[in-house]
Structure 1
Amino acid sequence: MKIKQKQRLYALALACLPLFSAPLVSAPLVSAPLVLTQTNNQITAVETATFEQVLQAAMNHDSEYRAARYTLEGERQEISMARSQLLPRLAFGAGYTYEDTDNIYTDKDNTNYYKEDDVRSSGKIHDNYWRFNIRQPIFDRSLNQDLNRAKNQVTAAEHRYQQVKQQLVFKVADVWLNLLYAQMQVHFSLENLESLDLRLAQAERQDQLGVGDQLELLDISARRDLAQADLLAAQSELSEKLLEIQLMSGRKLLPPAHWVTTAHQLEVTQQPQSIEAWNKQAIGNQAYQEQLARVAMAESTRLAKRAGHYPTLNLDLDYTNRSSDDEFREKEGFTASLNLSLELYGGGRTSSALRQAQARLNAEQAQADKVVLDAQQMIAVAWAKQQNLYQRLQALKNSMLSAEGYQQAATRGETLGLKSQVDVVEANARLFQARERHAEALVAYLLSDLRLHLETGQLEPSKLQEYDQLFNQLNP
């Protein structure tokens, strides 16, 4: 393979092979540089971005996150609506009445009441009125509990919103880290293939000159073909991850190129907290906090149903102005009244509603217990996995150092005639394999760290800023 062809293949593999012929989905991210790639005389721009930039794009694009935000905005109105039931209500009413009746005033034979020039004696009377009424609840326990229920409903929506946001942070980090790993696989496969191409070309020249080893040539050729297959598999995996990112963010995004070539140098610190400390923080899990708010909602509902056994007391202020053709029906007045109401018997409806509310409260409490236990289980798995991965990373770090030393020794040995080309090829393969395994363990370690923060309700966007700083500190 010629050098120009290798360079082109490297650029294409890193820049997203499946998206070359597709147009850009939207405008580029702020401060995100573009990587230009060319194939078949077509130019494709792929944006490079950091964890924080990908998260911002995903927040603008993710429909579930937007739905949770709008739901929270709507639920917050529940408090105002419930509070309004406790405030004075002013009502205005007006009406018109036409009446055509027969009575003692319209009876012509009844001379004591019938008067020909009296409007009442015609039996046809026109009335109109208007009124203002103010009602202020003075005692109603159900209304107070309904306000408490509304507050808890908003609290549940707030925790639900935080839960969706934190899940999106985890999802973005998961896909982004796996995309980075897929890029690293392509990078290592390309380096391995390039090394094998050089060795194969050298072995072929030696064979043509009659000084080569036919068996060595076949061995290198077989390794080269296998490396080509590995590259194709890595490119396929990279294509899938790029598509996931595009579907998640609506953009064609890639991590910075120097992350791909330097991530194997990254060193992580061991998790200082014990499993007991993490389990204590499980109560901060956003799903658990949401469920606790639902338990409080169910308790408020139960108390509101129980309030059906208590009386209600309202103050009514009423002003009425009535005009009529009949002067005896005209009226203007102000009325103040206290109205007490107590249901003595309703067919068992209140008692049944109370038992139903109690059962639902028990169900919500049981669900809350399940949520926190599930969170603790996930914490235990993630913590144990992270501890193992930390030890594995240290072992792989030593393995990479040994592989680098072996590669250098094999190269020098070949120069001195003490090692064959196969030995050098094997040394290169060991080094690439050690780096790839280190990258795989690194991604798994970081995801375990994210899982611990997610299950304890601590996974905020600032966590991804820490990851950006972690990767950017590496020298290209």
Structure 2
Amino acid sequence: MRRALIILALTALTGTGAASAETLTLQECLTKAAASSRGLKASTHDVAIAQEQISIARSARLPRVDLQAGYTAQLDPQAVKFGNIVQETQDARYPFLNLTIYNTLYDFGRTGAREARARLQSDAAQFSHFGQEQDLFLEVVRAYFGILAAEKLVGAANDEVVQMTAHQKTAQALFEEGVVTRNDLLQAEVRVASSRQNLYGALNQIENGWLYLNYLTGVPASYRADLQEQIETPPLPDQQAVPDLSKRAEISALRALVNADEHAVKEAKSDYYPEIFARFGLDYLDNSKVREQTIYAATLGLKVNLFDGAAKEARIRQAVESRARDEERMRDLEDRVRLELSTAQNDMKVALTRLKVAEKAIEQGRENLRITRDRYQEKVGTATEVIDAQTLLTQTRTDYFRSMFDLQVAAARVKRATGEL
């Protein structure tokens, strides 16, 4: 009866049944996460915004056309005086129109530097997007294998409940025969209750794992499926080899920003140079007092700023400091990625070792439990020995399952560190 209740509780909390017949693979989870993540969608907008900045920078190569029109009403018309004679030169009210076409012919590389900077910033935004996608994939891997590990822990906890319940029945029978004291029976009952608590805790881990995985993959919180166990022993990477970080998106993004800063320095320095421009203008003013109401003009000129309150020097220093800042950030990120890679490689190595040790320990634990239970039934051993043996076996199985999935997550972390997830 108690076993049936445990199975019923497991079914209710994990949502297994007819609705969970669908099998879900890790690759399908990654695909769903990439398609539904709002964070990635927001990052996509950042990429589009940076792309438009290229068009803005490139627009300086094209002519600028301005049109202005209006109607002016004056209290008195303008006039000139020739001795005692006053001659009006303008109507009191008049419409006007101004058309100007302005084009920069040469600016000593200012526009080119601005355009190159925008292009590199766009590349950095794209790399940052890839980096966020890799972070999302790693979270999906953690959630996916976390659920699989929790399911294995539920199985181990459920087996412990069954074993402890059987031990309780044995203790009850021996107590009724007067062979053991009530203390043995109470100890068995307490252990059964503790095992059930462990079972419900493991079930809760599954439930919370599904909630998080469903959030990452953009499916309803109530969705459940059978996760496919793609358990493979990944090869240990060579920790002595020089790590290849060329595919790490965040490093590429910062490298692009450093190059963009180089062009920002060039752009700031170009403010010292003049600008050669061409200008065509059309000015129309409705004035009955003059003969020519439409004036056409073409200008080829040069302009240069002579003084702007030391703003040019400040912009150059600012650009140099930005470049130095991003260079330091890039070096720091490279060091942190190397640390991240080394840590993940060490975790892989340790998890693999733990896995091999736990495999053997499980068999030993099962044999130890069998011998201890037989000794108790033969009234040679004690109840405490039986409980300790069962606890030891459950802990060994727990270590095995956790090592199995820690190995998979560590392998994913290695790929994440190298940008290959």
TM-score (norm 1): 0.74
- The correspondence for 2:294, drawn from 313, 331, 336, is 331
Per the alignment, in what secondary structure is the counterpart of residue 346 of structure 1?
coil
- The correspondence for 2:47, drawn from 72, 95, 120, is 72
Q: What is the rounded CA distance, in whole Å, between the counterparts of 1:311 and 1:5 in structure 2?
A: 86
Closer, same or farther: CA 306–33 of 1 in aligned 2, 3 Å: farther
Whether contact under 8 Å (2:91, 2:289) holds in the other structure is no
Cα shift readout 1:246-290 (whole Å, capped 9, x = no counterpart): 55445234452775xxx8xx451332x31244x532343222222
Q: What is the rounded CA distance, in whole Å, between the counterparts of 1:103 and 1:207 in structure 2?
A: 128
Aligned amino acid, residue 339 of structure 1: G
Q: Does 1:309 align with 2:288?
A: no
- The correspondence for 1:100, drawn from 72, 77, 85, is 77
Q: Which residues in structure 2 correspond to 1:17-96 (within 5 Å)?
A: 34-35=19-20, 49-59=24-34, 62-96=37-71
RMSD: 3.7
Cα shift readout 1:192-233 (whole Å, capped 9, x = no counterpart): 21132234335534654x396558756644543432332243
Aligned amino acid, residue 60 of structure 2: Q
What's the CA shift for 1:379?
Answer: 1.0
Per the alignment, residue 132 of structure 1 pairs with 99
Whether contact under 8 Å (2:282, 2:294) holds in the other structure is no
Q: What is the rounded CA distance, in whole Å, between the counterparts of 2:10 and 2:81 in structure 1?
A: 109
What's the CA shift for 1:363?
Answer: 1.3
Aligned amino acid, residue 106 of structure 2: F
Aligned amino acid, residue 251 of structure 1: A
**Ranges in structure 2 where 5+ consecutive residues have no aligned partner:** none
Q: Does 1:274 align with 2:274?
A: no
Per the alignment, residue 177 of structure 1 pairs with 145
Per the alignment, residue 29 of structure 1 pairs with none
Aligned amino acid, residue 58 of structure 2: R
Per the alignment, residue 362 of structure 2 pairs with 400
- The correspondence for 1:234, drawn from 187, 191, 202, is 202
Q: Which residues in structure 2 correspond to 1:208-223 (within 5 Å)?
A: 208=176, 210=177, 220-221=188-189, 223=191
Aligned residues: 413
Per the alignment, residue 320 of structure 2 pairs with 358
**Ranges in structure 1 where 5+ consecutive residues have no aligned partner:** 17-31, 37-46, 115-119, 460-476
Whether contact under 8 Å (1:410, 1:427) holds in the other structure is no
Closer, same or farther: CA 96–395 of 1 in aligned 2, 3 Å: same
Whether contact under 8 Å (2:147, 2:210) holds in the other structure is yes
Aligned amino acid, residue 257 of structure 2: R
Per the alignment, residue 15 of structure 1 pairs with 15
Closer, same or farther: CA 409–182 of 1 in aligned 2, 3 Å: closer
Q: Which residues in structure 2 correspond to 1:346-425 (within 5 Å)?
A: 346-403=308-365, 406=367
Q: What is the rounded CA distance, in whole Å, between the counterparts of 2:295 and 2:90 in structure 1?
A: 23
Closer, same or farther: CA 5–339 of 1 in aligned 2, 3 Å: same
Q: What is the rounded CA distance, in whole Å, between the counterparts of 2:340 and 2:301 in structure 1?
A: 57
Closer, same or farther: CA 243–386 of 1 in aligned 2, 3 Å: same
Per the alignment, residue 252 of structure 1 pairs with 222
Per the alignment, in what secondary structure is the counterpart of residue 366 of structure 1?
helix
